[in-house]
Amino acid sequence: MSSLATSHDSEGQAGTLPGLSRKKPINQAGSGRTRSQGSRNNLNGWAFAAPFLAFFLVFLVWPLLYGLYMSLTGKSLTGANDSIIGLANYAEALADADMWHSLGNTLYFTVISTVPLVIVALVMAALLNVGLPAQWLWRVSYFAPYLLASTVVSLFFTWMYNPQLGLINDTLVKIGLPKVAWLNDPGVAMWAIVIATLWWTVGFNFLLYLAAMQNIPAQHYEAASLDGAGAWRQFFSITLPQLAPTSVMIVLLQILASLKIFDQVYQMTAGGPGGATRPVVQYIFESGFTGYRLGYSAAISYIFFGLIVAVSVLQFFITRRRSA
């Protein structure tokens, strides 16, 4: 700031904005003009970044720090018990069977949803990439569900899964199979939610895969077919290896998205039956907003945050080793 104020005008070029000078000095560190321009550029940079930084500080950093502070207090929604109680909330959370159960549900959902969401997307993209007719129709119908709101998807599937009047059970009965209590059987409910989620969100991964596949140079396939490689051989020896970076990215994004599961579950089963589908995000919500215990809820959020950081770090090391 001070260098800007003192050295700016002495060597400023008439008629040219300092930041836009065409004759840019190279290797003149220490000259007044460079410092001046550097500072000006810095200032401009800060000015451009300021709105984002302000939002970042107000809506991310501050809540993050305040949440951490809150997790160390007994704070409630009514404003009572604002005193610091140390790690008592963390100790209680680690001994809370419901917390572990909901965390287990989240991990279970992440595992059983990520696998089909990646594989089905890959298969859909591969099918489309071989040149099916009416490509636009397939693309639209695969991607369109992704644009729907979670409420719409949840309502839609709740009706389809209705044990008495639902389309799915009706079809099952017509072909001679027994009815399934889709959202009311603890062993089935999570899978029912995975099916709904798959239909809803697979289009995004599909689109990423399709874009990556269409970027693979055609010469690779030409050369391979000249060498006598069949379609399967080409898929496993050219397409899949070329897609590796995309796959890593999709898996990472999918894991993070699945860990955040909340909307569909809350609307389709409210965490039931018997807590079989309650994800940890819902438990955080319940502890804080309907159970009034904000401090305790914040502590569980931080435990979950730690888990996500651990997954991300693990992912980082795995991808670094692969690329090294």
Q: Which of 7, 66, 121 is nearest to 298 (CA)?
A: 66
Decide if residue 273 touches other proteins (CB under 8 A). Answer: yes
Minimum distance from residue 199 beta carbon to other proteins (Å): 21
Q: Which two tokens stand for residue 221?
A: 């396939």
**Closer to other proteins at the Cβ: 162 or 319?**
162
Q: Is 76 in the site for other proteins (CB under 8 A)?
A: yes
Instruction: Please say which residue, 122 or 183, places its beta carbon nearer to other proteins.
Output: 183
Span near other proteins by CB under 8 A; candidates 203-211, 219-227, 267-275, 306-314: 267-275
80/119 with CB nearer other proteins = 80
Distance (Å, whole) CA 320 – CA 245: 11
Give the nearest distance from C-beta 70 to other proteins in angstroms: 13
State which residue, 2 or 78, has the beta carbon closest to other proteins: 78
Cβ-proximal residues to 236 (8 Å cutoff; 6+ apart), any chain: none
Assess 78 for contact with other proteins (CB under 8 A). Answer: yes
Segment contacting other proteins by CB under 8 A, of 38-46, 120-128, 251-259, 269-277: 269-277
List residues bridging with 73 in a β-sheet.
84
Q: Which helix (H) or strand (E) holds 255?
A: helix 244-259
12-20, Cβ contacts within 8 angstroms, sequence gap of 24 or more: 12/36, 19/44
Our CA angle for 261, 263, 267, nearest 5°, is 130
Report in angstroms how near the CB of residue 107 gets to other proteins at its nearest.
Answer: 20
| 16 contact partners, CB below 8 Å, separation of at least 6 | 22
Interface ranges with other proteins (CB under 8 A): 74, 76-81, 92, 98, 162-165, 181, 183-184, 186, 269-275, 286, 289-293
